[in-house]
């Protein structure tokens, strides 16, 4: 799971096995974030978070609100519901920035070592993912 800023630069990263649902990793990843704000007073959280429908869970929304983060997560349709929930229409403008996250995830495919996980050791794979994050940050800063 990767947490990115508005430019697509990775800020926080969480590597786990494929059996664990991503929604369960969301709070761990968010808690790693420390954004530089004023000197000696880093901003700990973003003001709002954009995620896809897979993260639609009441407990996650409540936990984000407890951290003073506005969740901009579209709601899933309920069984038998034909129309899109009204809430999804209210966050349409904000949700249009979701492509930035998807673009960052696609940047990881530049690194062949990450496309297919050959390493059995989690620490080695996490080191390669961290190295890829550093390379992405350098490309964004230098170009």
Using DSSP's 3-state secondary structure scheme, residue 16 falls into coil
For 119, the token pair is 């390493």
> Where would I find the H helices in 23-121?
26-31, 58-66, 86-90, 92-95, 99-107, 112-115
For 84, the token pair is 């899109």
Q: Residue 72 contacts by C-beta under 8 Å, 6 or more apart in sequence?
A: 48, 49, 50, 51, 91, 94, 95
pLDDT in tens, 58-82: 999 999 999 889 998 888 888 887 8
121 band by pLDDT with thresholds 50, 70 and 90:
confident
Residue 141's region, left for phi above 0, alpha for psi from -120 to 50, else beta, is alpha
Higher pLDDT, 118 or 39: 118
pLDDT in tens, 34-43: 766 667 666 6
8 band by pLDDT with thresholds 50, 70 and 90:
confident
Using DSSP's 3-state secondary structure scheme, residue 11 falls into strand
Judged against a pLDDT cut of 70, whether residue 31 lies above it is answered with yes
């Amino acid at each position: 799971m990767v947490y990115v800023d508005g430019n697509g630069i990775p800020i926080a990263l969480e590597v786990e096995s494929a059996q664990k649902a991503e929604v369960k990793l969301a709070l761990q990843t968010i808690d790693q974030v420390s954004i530089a704000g004023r000197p000696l007073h880093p901003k700990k959280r973003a003001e709002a978070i954009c995620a896809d429908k897979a993260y639609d869970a009441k407990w996650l929304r409540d936990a984000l609100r407890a951290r003073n983060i506005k969740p901009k997560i579209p709601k899933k349709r309920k069984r038998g519901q034909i129309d899109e929930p009204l809430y999804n229409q209210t966050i349409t403008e904000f949700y249009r920035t979701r492509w930035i996250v998807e673009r960052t995830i696609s940047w990881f495919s530049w690194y062949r070592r990450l496309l297919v996980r050959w390493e059995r050791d989690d620490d080695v794979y996490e080191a390669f993912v961290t190295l890829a994050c550093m390379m992405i940050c350098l490309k964004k800063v230098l170009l």
